[in-house]
A and B are shown apart, each in its own frame.
Chain A
Amino acid sequence: MKYLKISIPLLLTLALVYVLNRSWNFGAPIPPLGKFLDPFHGFWQNAETGKVKDGELNLAGLKDKVTVVYDSARIPHIFAQNDEDLYFAQGYITAIDRLWQMEFQTHAAAGRVSEILGNVALDYDRRQRRLGMVYGAQNGLESMSKDPISKMTVDAYTAGINAYIATLSYEDLPFEYKLLDYSPENWSNLKCALLLKSMAQTLNMSDKDMEITNALKLYGKDVIDILYPDQEPVSDPIVERPGQWKFKSPLSDSIPLAVPTELIAARPYEKPSPDVGSNNWAVSGSKTASGAPILCSDPHLNLSLPSIWYAIHLNAPGINTMGVSLPGSPAVIIGFNDSIAWAMTNAQRDLVDWYQIQFKDAGKNEYMSDGAWKPSRKVIETFNVKGGKPFVDTVTYTHHGPVLYDESFHGENERAHYAFRWIAHDPSEEVITFYKLNRAKNHAGYIEALDYYSSPAQNIVFASAAGDVAMRIQGKYPVRRKNEGRFVLDGSKTSTEWQAYIPNEQNVMDKNPARGFVSSANQYPVDFTYPYYVTASSWEAYRNRRINQVLAASSNVTMQDMIKLQHDNFNQRGADALPIFLPHLDPSTFNEKEKEAYEHLKKWDFYNNPESEDAPYFAAWWQQLMPMVWDEMDSAHVAMQYPTGFNTIQLIKTQPNFSFFDLVATPEKETATDILRKSFSASVKFIEDWKTRKNESLTWGNYKDSYIGHLLRQKALNIPVRSSGGGSAVVNAHTQTHGPSWRMVVSLEKSGVKAIGVYPGGQSGNPGSPYYANMVEPWAHAKYYTLRLATSPEQLTGYQSSTTQLTPSK
Chain B
Amino acid sequence: MNFLKQLVATALLCLALQYFFPWWTLVIGAFAASYWAGNKAFMAFLAGFLGVALLWLVAALVIDLQTQSILTDKVAQLFPTKTPALLLLLTAIVGGLPAGFAGMTGAIASPRH
A and B interact physically:
yes
> CB within 8 Å of B: which residues of A?
2, 5-6, 9-10, 12-13, 16-17, 20-21, 33-35, 37-49, 170, 175, 179, 714-717, 767-770
10 other contacts beyond A37-B90, A38-B23, A768-B71, with CB at 8 A cut-off?
A: A9-B41, A9-B102, A13-B31, A13-B101, A17-B98, A34-B94, A37-B56, A39-B60, A41-B23, A716-B78
Interface digits, B86-105 against A, CB 8 Å rule (1 contact, 0 not)? 00001100110110011011
Q: Which residues of chain B are near A37, meaning CB under 8 Å?
A: 56, 60, 90-91, 94-95
With A38-B23, A39-B91, A44-B60 already in contact, the answer to whether A767 and B105 are too (CB < 8 A) is no
Sample of 16 A–B contacts (CB below 8 Å): A2-B108, A13-B102, A33-B90, A37-B90, A37-B91, A37-B94, A39-B91, A41-B18, A41-B23, A44-B60, A44-B63, A44-B71, A716-B77, A717-B74, A769-B70, A770-B70
In the complex, what distance in Å separates the CA atom of A717 from the CA atom of B91?
Answer: 20
In the complex, what distance in Å separates the CA atom of A224 from the CA atom of B45?
Answer: 77
Contact residue among A40, A41, A42, A47 (Cβ-Cβ distance under 8 Å from B70): A47
Q: Does A17 contact B75, Cβ atoms closer than 8 Å? A: no
In the complex, what distance in Å separates the CA atom of A716 from the CA atom of B77?
Answer: 5
**B12 CB within 8 Å of chain A:** no
| Beta-carbon contacts under 8 Å, B11-58 to A | 18-19, 22-24, 27, 31, 41, 45, 56
Q: Which residues of chain A are near B23, meaning CB under 8 Å?
A: 21, 34-35, 38, 40-42
Q: Does A48 contact B56, Cβ atoms closer than 8 Å? A: no
In the complex, what distance in Å separates the CA atom of A714 from the CA atom of B75?
Answer: 10
Contact residue among A20, A39, A767 (Cβ-Cβ distance under 8 Å from B63): A39
Name B106's closest neighbour in chain A (CB-CB): A9
Smallest CB-CB A-B distances: 4 pairs = A716-B77, A768-B71, A39-B59, A38-B23
Q: Which residues of chain B are near A16, meaning CB under 8 Å?
A: 97-98, 101
Q: How far is the CB of B83 from chain A (nearest CB, A)?
A: 12
Q: Does B59 contact A44, Cβ atoms closer than 8 Å? A: yes
Q: How far is the CB of B80 from chain A (nearest CB, A)?
A: 10
In the complex, what distance in Å separates the CA atom of A20 from the CA atom of B64?
Answer: 22
> CB within 8 Å of A: which residues of B?
18-19, 22-24, 27, 31, 41, 45, 56, 59-60, 63-64, 66-67, 70-72, 74-78, 90-91, 94-95, 97-98, 101-102, 104-105, 108-109
Q: Does A716 contact B104, Cβ atoms closer than 8 Å? A: no
Name A38's closest neighbour in chain B (CB-CB): B23
With A21-B24, A716-B74, A717-B74 already in contact, the answer to whether A13 and B98 are too (CB < 8 A) is yes
Q: Which residues of chain A are near B78, meaning CB under 8 Å?
A: 179, 714, 716-717
Name B41's closest neighbour in chain A (CB-CB): A9
Q: How far is the CB of B10 from chain A (nearest CB, A)?
A: 13
Name B71's closest neighbour in chain A (CB-CB): A768
Q: Does A47 contact B18, Cβ atoms closer than 8 Å? A: no
In the complex, what distance in Å separates the CA atom of A41 from the CA atom of B21?
Answer: 9
Contact residue among B56, B67, B77, B101 (Cβ-Cβ distance under 8 Å from A47): B67
Q: Which residues of chain A are near B19, meaning CB under 8 Å?
A: 40
Q: Does B27 contact A13, Cβ atoms closer than 8 Å? A: yes
Contact residue among B27, B60, B71, B90 (Cβ-Cβ distance under 8 Å from A767): B71
Q: Does A41 contact B22, Cβ atoms closer than 8 Å? A: yes
Q: Does A20 contact B70, Cβ atoms closer than 8 Å? A: no
Q: Which residues of chain A are near B75, meaning CB under 8 Å?
A: 43, 716
Contact residue among B22, B60, B67, B97 (Cβ-Cβ distance under 8 Å from A48): B67
In the complex, what distance in Å separates the CA atom of A168 from the CA atom of B91?
Answer: 24
In the complex, what distance in Å separates the CA atom of A20 from the CA atom of B72?
Answer: 20
Q: Does B105 contact A768, Cβ atoms closer than 8 Å? A: no
In the complex, what distance in Å separates the CA atom of A38 from the CA atom of B60?
Answer: 8
Query: Which of B75, B78, B94, B95 has the largest number of chain A CB atoms within 10 A?
Result: B75
Q: Does B94 contact A33, Cβ atoms closer than 8 Å? A: yes
In the complex, what distance in Å separates the CA atom of A41 from the CA atom of B22?
Answer: 7
In the complex, what distance in Å separates the CA atom of A537 from the CA atom of B73?
Answer: 43
Q: How far is the CB of B112 from chain A (nearest CB, A)?
A: 13
In the complex, what distance in Å separates the CA atom of A232 from the CA atom of B31?
Answer: 78
Q: Does B94 contact A49, Cβ atoms closer than 8 Å? A: no
In the complex, what distance in Å separates the CA atom of A695 from the CA atom of B7?
Answer: 52
Q: Which residues of chain A are near B108, meaning CB under 8 Å?
A: 2, 5-6, 9
Q: Which residues of chain A are near B70, meaning CB under 8 Å?
A: 47-48, 768-770
Q: Which residues of chain B are near A768, meaning CB under 8 Å?
A: 67, 70-71, 74
With A10-B105, A13-B105 already in contact, the answer to whether A49 and B66 are too (CB < 8 A) is yes
Q: Does A170 contact B109, Cβ atoms closer than 8 Å? A: no
Q: Which residues of chain A are near B71, meaning CB under 8 Å?
A: 43-44, 46-47, 175, 767-768
Name A17's closest neighbour in chain B (CB-CB): B24
Q: How far is the CB of B89 from chain A (nearest CB, A)?
A: 11
In the complex, what distance in Å separates the CA atom of A307 from the CA atom of B74?
Answer: 18
Q: Which residues of chain A are near B95, meaning CB under 8 Å?
A: 34, 37-38
Q: Which residues of chain A are near B74, meaning CB under 8 Å?
A: 716-717, 767-768
Q: Which residues of chain A are near B59, meaning CB under 8 Å?
A: 39-40, 44
Q: Which residues of chain B are near A45, meaning CB under 8 Å?
A: 63
Q: How far is the CB of A279 from chain B (nearest CB, A)?
A: 33
Q: Which residues of chain A are near B91, meaning CB under 8 Å?
A: 37, 39, 44
Q: Does B67 contact A39, Cβ atoms closer than 8 Å? A: no
Query: Which of B18, B56, B94 has the largest number of chain A CB atoms within 10 A?
Result: B94
Q: Which residues of chain B are near A717, meaning CB under 8 Å?
A: 74, 78
Q: Which residues of chain B are near A9, meaning CB under 8 Å?
A: 41, 45, 101-102, 104-105, 108
